[in-house]
Chain A
Amino acid sequence: MRETQVEPITSSAANTVSRVGPGVGKLQKRNSPPYWMMFPALLLLIIIVVAPFLVAVYTSFTKLDQYTIANWTHAPFVGWKNYVNAFTQGNALGASAIQSVWVSIAFSLLTTIGITPIGIIAALLVNKPFRGQRWVRAMFLIPYVMPIFVNAITWRLLFMNGWGLIDRILSALHLASKNTFWLIGPHSFWAMVIADIWSSWPFVYLMVLAGLQGISDDLYESAHMDGATPIRCFFSITLPSLRPILGLALLLSTLNHFNNFTLPFIMFGTPPAPQADVLPLNVYVTSFQTFNFGLGAAMSLLTLVLMMIPAFFYIRMLRLGEES
């Protein structure tokens, strides 16, 4: 998944699921479903998602490295040792897993908090028709539809020490030294946050824009009659109406930013500064650069457990339970 690019439509299933269940036609209920149409997808998903998932669980309990990978089933079984190590040592090159957990949590929360107001303002700006609306809307999508690796390269360039645009501007304004070193050391966390906010705010914008279409004009008219100011209207009508879709957007954004691998990987290379060593990147370095596959698997399962917290709320929002 281009970490952020996919969500809008994924989320569009939100109301769908509750809609399709009991409403299926009576006629179709009597026939038995054409299972054969579903089997290719089912089979493929079992082979390429379920089976690897089980392998990951098994691997996380073994000491699998580049020497034992050829003979995977005979890799020594070490029980919970990898999980213990994940908390205590991490990989040999970068931050420990527990440190990465905090980096990832801070990163995904900060970016989500950052993109929300930007996205809402952008959507409000282009919601009502005006001349050139189509062009502005198209322009707003550019950061979002650029492949994420292009964005990462762009920001790597912008943050280059001494001559990157950021350092040039900041030093011209006397706000920071020309040698701030954004790509190595503690500043890299903020470089990553800024780059990610730039690339992903149009996601909130898209969701809010879709949400705005659903608000009836009558509400605004009657509020206007009652003498409500535009600001009052925004906080009393617009924002409450947007609440469900905003909730969904924030959850999905948190989930997807937590999974963001590409941006720090391209911006900083490996290993990154410990301050920017997000969990997916840490798993990658552990698995494919220090070849500690067992530890890598244990760390990725820990990632999954953490992801289950927002995922749980996401699934509840989809209201799967209501249909039967």
Chain B
Amino acid sequence: MPAKRLTSQRGVWNKLRAIGICIFAIMILLPISYVILISITPDSEVGSGSLLPTHFAWNNYVQMWQTVNLAQNIQNSIIISAFTGILSTIIALGAAYVLARFQFRGRKTFLLSLITMQTIPQVMMLLPLFVILVIIQNAINVHLVGQYYTVIITYMTFALPFACWLLLSYMANIPVELEEAGLVDGCTRWQVVRHIVFPLMLPGMVVSFVFSFLLAWSDVLFASVLTSPATHTVAVGLQAYIASGEAGGDVYWGQLMAASLTSGLPIVIIFLFFQKYIMGGLASGAVKG
């Protein structure tokens, strides 16, 4: 009898779950489907009475490369995001190692300031960074605003504290005994880090890279002030479509949606590819312990 009750309950639960998942699927996929639909609708038919266009305008996906210099923007985004990810991860690794493994004076202050840094509103950092860049520019007569390295360094204002925290929590899950064994066997500190810590930290470093990359890729605020036409990221490039509409011109809705999908989907794919690491890191850091 209890067994039977259990199975019938399970049947109800399965049905409820199926309904629930369907509701979520509609909620998630409906907006995305509308974007896909508009991306293949000719501009003349966007905003007309009928939902479905009379014919599909696949050439939105061709023309979007010409209306805005999208290829250049994507390339800029890749360069800037990749360097932000790599530099933040490498520099943070050293700090995370020392913070996770040693007690020293000022450690608590360092940890506390790392958290505080993450709560500072981004918009607050933009203004002084801009002021400082202008001052340096005037002092040494070199153009800094709009350079790759300037954008990369400014992105590290939020990528670096974040990467430190992330790697710190990964480091805490690696047994310290492994390193002690290495030290007892006569390795130097550097050899221990290189041959023991580094390989074990690799998954954590991948996640740190992916998140820092994403932070940089998604940013609009810093990019809209600190990039020049030559270094505009994809987020700024897409704004150009909207800006033309606000200035009274036509918004190429079809091309804008095609370009949005093109700049968003690779990120989604990268993320889903690393999904296991990300979920795993989350679980091991936040729940065990």
Contacts and interface: CB of A to CB of B under 8 A. Distances in A.
Interface of A: 1-2, 5-6, 8-17, 19-21, 23-25, 27-29, 31, 33-42, 44-45, 48-56, 59, 64, 69-70, 72, 121-122, 125-126, 130, 136-143, 145-150, 153-158, 160, 162-163, 165, 168, 198, 206-207, 209-211, 213-214, 230, 245, 248, 255, 258-259, 261-262, 265-266, 269, 279-280, 283-284, 287-288, 293, 296-297, 300-301, 303-304, 307-308, 311, 314-315, 318, 320, 323-324
Contact of B122 (A8, A168, A259): A259
A153 B271 CA distance: 20
Nearest to B289: A15
B38 interface: yes
B248 interface: no
A138 B128 CA distance: 39
Given A37-B94, A125-B24, A145-B267, A213 B283 contact: yes
Contacts of B128: 51-56, 59, 297
Interface string B26-70: 011111101100100000001110010000000000000000000
Interface in B91-140: 91-92, 94-95, 97-104, 108, 110-113, 115-129, 131-132, 134-135, 138
B151 interface: no
A2 B165 contact: no
Nearest to B138: A70
B239 A141 contact: no
A14 B286 contact: yes
Contacts of A324: 108
Nearest to A270: B246
Chain B interface mostly helix, strand, loop or mixed? Answer: helix
A5 B2 CA distance: 45
A307 B119 contact: yes
B91 A44 contact: yes
Interface string B235-254: 10011001100100000010
B82 interface: no
A28 B119 contact: no
A312 B131 CA distance: 29
Contacts of A154: 31-32, 34-35, 260
A58 B282 CA distance: 39
Contacts of B25: 139
B268 to A, nearest CB: 5
A161 B55 CA distance: 23
22 contacts: A1-B122, A1-B215, A14-B285, A27-B184, A41-B160, A45-B160, A52-B129, A59-B128, A72-B131, A121-B20, A125-B21, A139-B24, A147-B214, A149-B235, A150-B263, A157-B34, A198-B27, A209-B279, A245-B287, A287-B127, A300-B121, A303-B121
Contact of B180 (A27, A39, A137, A283): A27
B85 interface: no
Given A13-B166, A27-B183, A40-B91, A304 B120 contact: yes
Contacts of A311: 115-116, 119
Contact of A52 (B35, B157, B214, B256): B157
Given A55-B132, A121-B20, A303 B124 contact: yes
A274 B70 CA distance: 33
Given A20-B172, A146-B264, A149-B238, 12 more contacts: A8-B278, A21-B103, A40-B94, A45-B113, A45-B117, A53-B124, A59-B127, A145-B267, A150-B260, A154-B34, A279-B121, A304-B120
B161 A304 contact: no
B62 to A, nearest CB: 20
B16 to A, nearest CB: 9
A56 B127 contact: yes
A23 B116 CA distance: 25
Nearest 10 Cβ contacts at the A-B interface: A12-B285, A37-B94, A41-B95, A2-B218, A52-B128, A33-B102, A300-B124, A55-B128, A150-B264, A15-B289
Given A147-B263, A149-B235, A163-B48, A38 B94 contact: yes
Chain A interface mostly helix, strand, loop or mixed? Answer: helix
A209 B271 CA distance: 17
A37 B104 CA distance: 14
A168 B51 contact: yes
Nearest to B134: A69
Interface residues of B, number: 120
B80 interface: no
Nearest to A255: B119
Given A5-B215, A15-B289, A210-B287, A38 B168 contact: no
B119 A38 contact: no
Interface in B145-176: 153-154, 156-158, 160-162, 164-166, 168-169, 171-172, 176
Contacts of B196: none
B207 interface: yes
Contact of A145 (B32, B48, B153, B271): B271
B172 A9 contact: no
Contacts of B35: 154, 157
Contacts of B238: 149, 153
